Amino acid sequence: MSGITAAEAVVKDIISADGQATAVKVDLCDADQVAAFLAAGASRGAHLAGVVNATGPAIPLRPLCDISSDTFSHIMRTDVEGAFNLLTQAGRCLAATGGGSVVQLLTTAVLRTLENDAMSGIPKTAISGIVRQLARELGPQHVRFNGIAPGVIDAGIVHSSFTADPVAESVINDCLAKTPMPRLGKPEEVSALAAFLLSDAAGYINGQIIGIDGGYSA
């Protein structure tokens, strides 16, 4: 299922539950597109209260020395520059309207490295630095930034390209073998943490990278 198709499926679920949602395709590496996307809500009379960034490019699971410079550059630009554009634009928007919360999805590899997982861990580690920097700089404007660092979750890429490749599958199995809780994480466990961080109940949590990995990073 493509990204936009998956997003449209989520929109249908939200609308069927009497909510409101719209799917929009945005190039995060285009700062103008990101700004227009965030401004669109305000133009419809909505108030931006929170942002969750769960994006990321497809990545090869290989030893770092086997990654070409072109692949490295593409992933770093797509992931890190894309996150920079969204997080800084979201911070500006929220600061201008009295504050809010931003949640960035990362990876447990920012807390504990894993062999053959460099192209997940390295860019997301850079993004975690953006999260912490913005948390300090925009905290006075009541804008909170936090990161969620999931382990192996029973969803998404674990069900697709990762399991189609022997090296990728070995990375998943290695991570699970080193996880004290002997199971995959549940998507609803991650979404519950994101919802909490967006809520007023988490109003004094800022600049944190929170692992949800069954103890892998312990």
Looking at residue 196, its pLDDT comes to 98
Looking at residue 82, its pLDDT comes to 97
R_g of the chain, CA atoms, integer Å: 17
Q: Which domain holds residue 77?
A: 48-212
Q: Is residue 54 part of a domain?
A: yes
Number of domains present in the structure of the chain: 1
Backbone φ, ψ for residue 211 (5° rounding): -80, 140
CA 15, CA 29: separation in Å to the nearest integer?
29
Looking at residue 168, its pLDDT comes to 83
Q: Is residue 31 part of a domain?
A: no
Q: Is residue 197 part of a domain?
A: yes
Divide the 218 residues of the chain into consecutive groups of 10 and give the mean pLDDT of each group: 76 93 93 93 77 93 95 97 98 95 97 94 98 98 98 77 74 92 94 98 98 97
Closest CA to 105 of 128, 84, 85: 128
The count of other CB atoms within 10 Å of the CB of residue 156 is 14
- 160-180 burial, b at 16+ Cβ within 10 Å, e below that, comes to eebeeeeebeebbeebbebbe
Q: Is residue 27 part of a domain?
A: no
Q: Is residue 40 part of a domain?
A: no
Q: Is residue 107 part of a domain?
A: yes
- Are residues 166 and 212 in contact, defined by beta-carbon separation less than 8 angstroms? no
Q: Is residue 30 part of a domain?
A: no
Closest CA to 131 of 40, 202, 51: 51
In this prediction the pTM is 0.92
- Are residues 180 and 214 in contact, defined by beta-carbon separation less than 8 angstroms? yes
Q: What is the CATH number of the domain that holds 53?
A: 3.40.50.720
